[in-house]
Structure 1
Amino acid sequence: MSEWSMVNSYNHLGCAVGQFDNARGFDLSVKCRTLTVTDINNKRIQVVDDQGKYLHHWSVTVNGLRLCPLNLRRQDNEVVAAVVEGCAVLYNCPNVTDFQGITVKLLHTFGNDDLVFPRSILVNSKDQYVISDVGRQRVTVHDVYGKVLRAIGHSEDTMRFNWPYYMCADSKGRIAVSDSHNRCVKLFDEKDFKFISSFGENELTCATGVCESLDGRSFYVGD
């Protein structure tokens, strides 16, 4: 069995810039070696470099209300997509290390009528947004304008979720959804979101985080 050890840790609990209070969702930029992080209780998103040095932040404000960002994903070199309390938001945030003179701007919000408590967001190969929603116990696929194209796992669906938490897209064209209270991870085809299989029913107690291993042969699951 492999032995894991902490390589580094940085930035302490607090509300000053560069500090975090319930940092949960993050996205790694391989190009710039930066982390974009949801700082939930401080109701902001922060960008730090790979050594933890503070680079930039912005408050998550929708219709005049500061909201908690729950998860995010960089869509491309210009846009960051995030889920907050009750909706999804798109920000114009360049993938850079020098933010001097840059103001992050809110581009679009969607999902107010469709989302209750979104937990995780992905951007698929078609530039569609895939969102898990523990409030409605389902996963929805949205087009670039936010319109719902598909909903999976709602109350009338035999493929029901019970608190779908975090998701990941793997190298085989599948989306893995950690179905926490059903104690498993479910795999779907990214193209049409057809159910493929599930695993972990006899091993997991509350599946939350999920990501693919580097060799693409397995998944890491937070339980």
Structure 2
Amino acid sequence: MYRRLLCVAAALLVTSCVKPGSDRGAERNWPSSPNPTRIVWTGAAANAEDLHIGTGLVSSLWRMVTGGGEETIVRPYGIHADCRKRVLVVDSQKRGVHLFDRELKRYFFISGGEESVFNLPIGVTEDENNMAYVTDAGAGKVYRFSLSDRRLVQFTDGLQRPTGIVFNPLNKLLYVTDTLAAQVVVFDRQGKEVRRIGRSGHGRGEFNLPTDIAVDIEGKLYVTDPLNARIQIFSKDGVFLDSFGEAGDTPGFFGKAKGIAVNSEGHIYVCDALYDRVQVFDSKGRLLITFGSTGSGKGEFWMPSGIAIDKDDNIYIADTFNKRFQLFGYVWLD
């Protein structure tokens, strides 16, 4: 019996932005019957209106006063969802961050002005002090801004190609995957480098162009190592713990692992951009379920890149070439 379907009712307020008729035959629940449902498609959004933000007179006037405008997502990659019902989506082509505040019904686009500060923004995270951090792969920098005033400032530089980023609430440190350096670089919140994890290679704790990174509730780190076709797991102090995965085109194997996230049960979600699916593993790296397929309909992807899971285990996926993000609910079972 279902114990709860987390936040699906709220997520259903999202209007699908798929093309008419494009979702025919697409599954909205996974796995297929007669197995009990664990993942439910709840919506998709390409702009603020799809989230019912900015449709009223007050919201429209607010955006005019604050300089916010209706912005459509063009090339989403990094994505983050917080406990205040805010969703941040990095748009690499528009060189900025879409901020959808579903609680206050407000939308902002953060780029640093008409001439964007960013060169090639990729990843985004947030700390417990309402501060967001964005990697700029093209400039080798990390920027930050308060979600209150949204003013961009440089956090650190000197990186080769920073991509993924995550904040670890247990030790208050930020972890950045520096793809070309084949390392994870660790910073305190003053932007001071604390340590580096890994080096180039194929062995334990070595990387071949690492991209994305996630943290679980115990503080362990999960890093996508796509050219080694695996996920590597480290302690918060950078000690190698485990790895799983190998190259292949069938479920349980990786074509091109990108976004990664971990839910409250310790399940590891990995976007496979090559095969347009999301694979879910247990803490030992054993496959639990896959969902998604190639297309533009409900629950279909065209290069899923970033993934975020909020505190209620709702799932947000950056659907890069479909120019949107999709939302899914996780069903708890008794």
TM-score w.r.t. length of structure 1: 0.81
Q: Cα gap change, 1:64/1:55 in structure 2, threshold over 3 Å: closer, same or farther? A: closer
Are 1:220 and 2:269 an aligned pair? yes
Q: Cα gap change, 1:5/1:155 in structure 2, threshold over 3 Å: closer, same or farther? A: closer
Can you give the 5+ residue segments of structure 1 that lack an aligned partner in the other structure?
95-102
CA RMSD of aligned residues (A): 2.6
Q: Cα gap change, 1:143/1:214 in structure 2, threshold over 3 Å: closer, same or farther? A: closer
Q: Cα gap change, 1:201/1:56 in structure 2, threshold over 3 Å: closer, same or farther? A: same
Say whether the 8 Å CA contact 1:42–1:68 is kept in structure 2: no
Indicate which of 180, 187, 190 corresponds to 1:145: 190
Q: Which amino acid is the alignment partner of residue 35 of structure 1?
A: V
Say whether the 8 Å CA contact 1:72–1:83 is kept in structure 2: yes
Q: Cα gap change, 1:108/1:183 in structure 2, threshold over 3 Å: closer, same or farther? A: same
Q: Cα gap change, 1:77/1:148 in structure 2, threshold over 3 Å: closer, same or farther? A: closer
Q: Which amino acid is the alignment partner of residue 99 of structure 2?
A: V
Name 1:24's counterpart in structure 2: 77
Counterparts of 2:202 and 2:227, CA distance in 1: 17
Can you give the 5+ residue segments of structure 2 that lack an aligned partner in the other structure?
1-29, 33-38, 48-68, 248-252, 273-334
Are 1:173 and 2:213 an aligned pair? no
Q: Cα gap change, 1:157/1:44 in structure 2, threshold over 3 Å: closer, same or farther? A: same
Are 1:71 and 2:123 an aligned pair? yes
Name 2:165's counterpart in structure 1: 121
Following superposition, the deviation at residue 77 of structure 1 comes to: 4.1
Say whether the 8 Å CA contact 1:169–1:175 is kept in structure 2: yes
Are 1:194 and 2:247 an aligned pair? no
TM-score w.r.t. length of structure 2: 0.56
Say whether the 8 Å CA contact 1:60–1:67 is kept in structure 2: no
Counterparts of 1:156 and 1:201, CA distance in 2: 15
Name 1:204's counterpart in structure 2: 254
**Higher RCO (C-alpha under 8 Å, 6+ residues apart):** 2
Deviation per residue, 1:66-117 (Å, 9 max, x gap): 42321111113431111113111111222xxxxxxxx422243312x2x111
Name 1:97's counterpart in structure 2: none
Following superposition, the deviation at residue 184 of structure 1 comes to: 0.5
Name 1:100's counterpart in structure 2: none
Q: Cα gap change, 1:174/1:65 in structure 2, threshold over 3 Å: closer, same or farther? A: closer
Counterparts of 2:163 and 2:226, CA distance in 1: 12
Following superposition, the deviation at residue 162 of structure 1 comes to: 0.6
Say whether the 8 Å CA contact 1:138–1:161 is kept in structure 2: yes
Counterparts of 1:43 and 1:138, CA distance in 2: 25
Counterparts of 1:175 and 1:72, CA distance in 2: 16
Indicate which of 37, 41, 46 corresponds to 1:11: 46
Bigger radius of gyration among the two = 2
Say whether the 8 Å CA contact 2:201–2:208 is kept in structure 1: no
Q: Cα gap change, 1:197/1:38 in structure 2, threshold over 3 Å: closer, same or farther? A: same
Deviation per residue, 1:146-195 (Å, 9 max, x gap): 222211222499632011111111123311001111000000001x1100
Question: Aligned residues, how many?
Answer: 205
Name 1:105's counterpart in structure 2: 151
Name 1:136's counterpart in structure 2: 181
**Tell me, what secondary structure is at the counterpart of 1:105?**
coil
- Percent of matched pairs sharing the same residue: 22
Q: Which amino acid is the alignment partner of residue 11 of structure 1?
A: A
Following superposition, the deviation at residue 6 of structure 1 comes to: 3.4
Following superposition, the deviation at residue 64 of structure 1 comes to: 7.8
Q: Which amino acid is the alignment partner of residue 31 of structure 2?
A: S
